[in-house]
Amino acid sequence: MKSCRDFTDLFVEMHENRADTATRQIFAEHMQACPGCREDFKWYGVTVQALNTMERVQPPREFMVQLGARLDKLDSPSLFDYFRTFFSPGSAIPIPVGVTALLAIAVTGLMLYNQSVSSFFPWANYDYSASRTDGGAAVAAQMPAPGPAEHRTKGLQGHGPVAALEPAPVSSPATSIPGSLAQSTPITPERTEAVSFMPTLADRIGADNLTVESASIPSAVESVERILPNLGGRLVEMKPFDGNREVLMRVMIPSNAYGDLTTSLINHGAVQVGAGSGVTPPTKATETDGKQVFLYIRFQRTR
Amino acid sequence: MGEKTFLVPISPETILIGLCLNIVSLVMTSASASADNEDAELVRQCTQGSREAFDSLVEKYYKKIYNLAYRFVGDPEEANDLAQEIFAAAYQNLKKFRGDAKFSTWLFQIASNRGKNRFKYLKRRGYFVNRGKGESDFDKESGTRDIPDYSQNPETVLAGRQIQKIVQDAIDELEPDHKEIVILRDIEGFSYDEIARMLNLPEGTTKSRLHRARMVVKEKLKKVLS
């Protein structure tokens, strides 16, 4: 004895005339005996008919034009589209490779940011003083500080391997400022090699900028900050390096105040002897308006 | 006891009708095979870089695809976007088409997948709930459709439209798996075999899903029209 549910399951076969004769016979008998199933089967037929006669919806007239434009875009993807799908499945680069590459770039960037170039590229650890034909603006300096005992600035030196500061000849500027700050001073053949190895990071300041060694970096910094207003200069930025063991100060001073600054540093005990007021500013290329000059001063602990 | 054999007398008219049906069937099969060959040739040209060949395929199928898209989303603008997405996907993936099945089967397989995904997406966002409260699409878009000729009686036309609306709403309430089978079978008229291949389902599953879907639509119709 079959239940109504069993006969309901036969609706598809019965409606599409795919049931065999025996099934059809049993189904017909049940339909005669069961008004509920008969009603259901009638509505089933109406439903299928309604579905079969659903109207055909016409696409808009501009469909082909719009689709053509879309396909044109697929034929010539823009640079934006390329990067938009750069890390998506199916693009030229699989996702894991892309993610790994991004991580590698980020890690390398962080390492370069925190370390000096020379730790990665030994050839960049170049002795600038060795390439100078003019002896540099280096002044060997070591004198007692005027303030507390720890406020002792050891010297005003060329960057890199600490160069002795000597009275700087006027024609001594050497290229040192990275990137666009490269200077316009003519480069002699002897210095060509040095120039070609110039580091490009700002923290690798060059020989014509100043390195001040001090037992107390904060005190030395404070001294320079006191000097600057008197010279008409100002502090542009200050950045600690290497866990505060070094501080890089970027100052803007009038171009004719370079000598005065070094003299003031000497007067404050930063240097013993050295560049006087007649010293030419070393970084002409950094001048912003022909009157001002950017100068980097690196403070480091006394070695 | 020997097995009884019943011989049913066949009239000449029945034989004649049978012969006619056979001839019609042969002509249709031949036309279908010709269309398939034409599609295969166009696909071959497409894979060699001919955009014109793909345009020909679009020209051939865009009305059907649009209609299928409309039945999935129930809105002209959504259907337009969906249909374009379907053709764009086909265009991009044509090189993956191996020719095991007919191009039309492959295209409708893409259409069905995309349509089902779009339907799920819209349903999640409550699109169909909000749409049901608004103006009937039939009122808005009647100018862009082929209205079946129910009769010249306006009341009958209106009743026909209302039934269409009720059926479309009932379809929209189906589960995505049921909806695609109802659309492919009852609206687009594909065979069970083709649907089973498109959806990668056993034929029995296809039939049982269709049955359940029809029963849901039937209940809705019965409730509204009774």
With beta carbons under 8 A apart, name residues in chain A contacting B217: 47, 50-51
All residues of chain A having their beta carbon less than 8 Å from the beta carbon of residue B218 are 40, 43-44, 46-47
Q: Residue B221: what pLDDT?
A: 86
Q: Is the pLDDT of residue B184 over 50?
A: yes
- Establish, for the pair of chains A and B, how many residue pairs have beta carbons separated by less than 8 Å: 107
Contact criterion met (CB < 8 Å) for B66 and A58: yes
List of chain B residues whose C-beta atoms are within 8 Å of the C-beta of residue A74:
88, 91-92
Q: What average pLDDT does the structure give for chain B?
A: 80
Residues on chain B touching A11 (C-beta within 8 angstroms)? 211, 214-215
Give A47's contacts (C-beta < 8 A, 6+ positions apart).
B167, B214, B217, B218, B221
Query: What is the residue-level pLDDT of chain A in tens, covering all 303 positions?
Result: 678 888 888 898 888 888 889 999 999 999 999 999 999 999 999 899 889 888 888 899 899 999 998 888 887 766 676 666 666 655 566 677 878 889 999 999 888 877 655 555 555 544 444 433 333 333 333 333 333 333 333 334 333 333 333 333 333 333 333 333 333 333 344 443 434 443 333 334 444 567 777 778 888 888 888 888 888 888 888 888 777 778 888 888 887 787 777 777 666 555 433 333 343 444 444 444 557 777 778 777 776
Backbone angles phi, psi at A298, to 5 degrees: -105, 125
Residue B139 near chain A (CB below 8 Å): no
pLDDT tens track for B150-163: 445 666 666 777 88
Task: Judge whether A81 is closer than 8 Å to chain B, CB to CB.
Answer: no
Top-confidence residue, A198 or B4: B4
Tokens of A237: 């930025």
Give the per-residue pLDDT at A251: 83
The whole-number pLDDT of residue A81 equals 64
CA distance A51 to A15: 14
pLDDT 10s digits, B106-147: 999 999 999 999 998 888 888 777 665 544 444 444 444 444
Q: Quote the ipTM score.
A: 0.72
The pLDDT > 90 percentage for chain B reads 34
Tell me, yes or no, if A197 comes closer than 8 A to chain B by beta carbon. no
Provide the shortest C-alpha distance from residue B159 to chain A (in Å): 12
Q: Show the domains of chain B with their CATH numbers.
A: 135-226 (1.10.10.10)
For the whole model, what pTM was predicted? Answer: 0.51
- What pLDDT does B130 receive? 63
Which residue would you say has higher pLDDT here, B136 or B83?
B83
Residue A239 pairs with which residues in a beta bridge? A248
